């Protein structure tokens, strides 16, 4: 039984974007979170390489265009509400611009002010 969706079925946000969680297809490690517009997803599906929409630069970009750290698409999944995507990829190099394998490398520590409020 197939539950595949067309791009038209996605629930785009008010900016015409959908968040994309990128995961290493081999290790399962979450690599990054980015956003894609329709054109980015069409290019991703056509080329097999991840494309995104840069909210800060206001432009389309191919992952690894300048760094060489590309991400080859293995599978693309929509969540149950069709408002978020999971891209399973085969990465060629680190995902993060800092050189880290994943953008998620900093654990969040409890704020000392929050700790003192919790003690009340």
**Residue 28 in this model has a pLDDT that exceeds 70:** yes
Can you give the CATH number for the domain in which 73 is found? Answer: 3.10.20.810
Using one digit for the tens of pLDDT, what is the confidence trace for 68-107?
999 999 999 999 999 999 999 999 999 999 999 999 999 9
Q: Give the structural domain span for 102.
A: 10-107
Better-predicted residue by pLDDT, 111 or 38: 38
Q: Give how far the C-alpha of residue 35 lies from the chain's centroid of Cα atoms, to the nearest Å.
A: 6
Domain membership flag for residue 114: no
Domain membership flag for residue 55: yes
**Residue 34 in this model has a pLDDT that exceeds 50:** yes
Measure the CA dihedral 82/88/94/98, to 10°.
10
Domain membership flag for residue 2: no
Instruction: Name residues whose C-beta falls within 8 Å of residue 87's C-beta, 6 or more positions apart in sequence.
Output: 20, 21, 22, 23, 44, 50, 71, 73, 75, 76, 77
Domain membership flag for residue 87: yes
What is the SS3 string spanning 27-93? CCCEEEEEEECHHHHHHHHHHCECEEEECCCCEEEECCCCCCCCEEEEEEEECCCCCCEEEEEEECC
User: Edge to edge, what strands does the sheet with 59-62 contain?
Assistant: 59-62, 51-54, 30-36, 18-24, 85-91, 71-78
Domain membership flag for residue 50: yes
Name the percent of the chain lying above pLDDT 70: 90
Q: How many distinct structural domains can be found in the chain?
A: 1
Antiparallel, parallel or unpaired: β 18-24 and 85-91: parallel
């Amino acid at each position: 039984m197939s539950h595949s969706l067309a791009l038209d079925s996605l629930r785009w946000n008010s900016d015409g974007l959908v968040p994309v969680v990128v995961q290493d297809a081999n290790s399962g490690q979450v690599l990054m979170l980015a956003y894609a517009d329709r054109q980015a997803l069409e290019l991703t599906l056509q080329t097999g390489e991840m494309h995104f929409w840069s909210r800060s630069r206001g432009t389309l970009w191919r992952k690894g265009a300048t760094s060489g750290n590309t991400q080859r698409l293995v599978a693309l999944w929509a969540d149950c509400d069709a408002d978020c995507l999971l891209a399973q990829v085969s990465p060629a190099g680190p995902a993060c611009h800092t050189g880290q394998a994943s953008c998620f490398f900093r654990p969040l520590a409890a704020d000392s002010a929050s700790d003192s409020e919790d003690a009340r």
